[in-house]
Amino acid sequence: MIGERIKRLRESKGYSITELAKRSGVSKSYISNIERDLQQNPSLQFLAKIADPLDSTVEYILGMETEQVQLDDEWIELLKKAIDSGVTKKDFKEFQMFMKYMKWVEQQEQ
């Protein structure tokens, strides 16, 4: 299952195993062994290294998230404008935390 997800993500990005190995810093043979289910218990460190270049998450690769979110053009444009205006990843993560907090407050008031 993990190997299948990694292979599907890799192919959707148009990466060869060699390209993914370069981008993730993981050996080609190890990636190949995972994809072919010869190695079935990858470390979290491996999953973290491989998730980033695949624009994915460890949770998705492990099957804990059932859907990989795809951004439409409007979201992409909004994110580009935010980045151009100086919004950093840290700022975005803080905004996410704030929004989660605000939703929690709303639920408490109901």
What's the pLDDT tens digit per position in 27-84? 999 999 999 999 888 999 999 999 999 988 888 898 886 665 677 788 889 989 999 9
Question: Residue 22 in contact with residue 28, Cβ under 8 Å?
Answer: no
pLDDT of residue 20 exceeding 90, the answer is yes
Summarize pLDDT for 2-12 with one digit per residue, the tens. Answer: 999 999 999 99
The Cα 55–Cα 52 span in angstroms is 5
Domains of the chain from N-terminus onward: 2-61 (1.10.260.40), 73-109 (no CATH)
pLDDT of residue 100 exceeding 90, the answer is no
The torsion angle over the Cα atoms of residues 11, 54, 49 and 57, rounded to 10 degrees, is -120
Query: Which pLDDT value is given to residue 108?
Result: 84
The Cα 42–Cα 46 span in angstroms is 6
Query: Which pLDDT value is given to residue 65?
Result: 66
